[in-house]
Amino acid sequence: MNRVWIELEIQDTDEKNHSVAKLASNMIRRLCPDEENSKRETFWFCQDNQQFCVVIDQAGGFQRLNDNGHWFNLDHLGREA
């Protein structure tokens, strides 16, 4: 499997971090416009832990991004439209 690393930069305010997560979610939706959960947020910022999180499966399971990034399946994201 080919992979691509997507890393989000922590900003100096929670508001900016929420905005970064929203932008990253929008980007993933553009890469996967036909996905069943294309309206779901892929990334979000958890203020309690001061870290980004990412949804990792269709059931809504998520992972905290201790290093601010996540490996995505490039074969899937880069497939022909």
- Annotate 25-45 with DSSP letters as a single string: HHHHHHHSTT-TTTTS-SEEE
CB 46 within 8 A of CB 30: no
Cα 66 to Cα 59: distance, rounded to the nearest angstrom: 21
Residue 68: which region, alpha, beta or left (left: phi > 0; alpha: psi -120 to 50)?
left
**pTM (two decimals):** 0.85
21: nearest Cα among 44, 51, 50: 44
pLDDT tens sequence across 10-44: 999 999 999 999 999 999 888 877 665 555 679 99
Report the pLDDT value the prediction gives residue 24, as an integer from 0 to 100: 95
pLDDT tens sequence across 52-80: 999 988 888 899 999 999 999 899 888 88
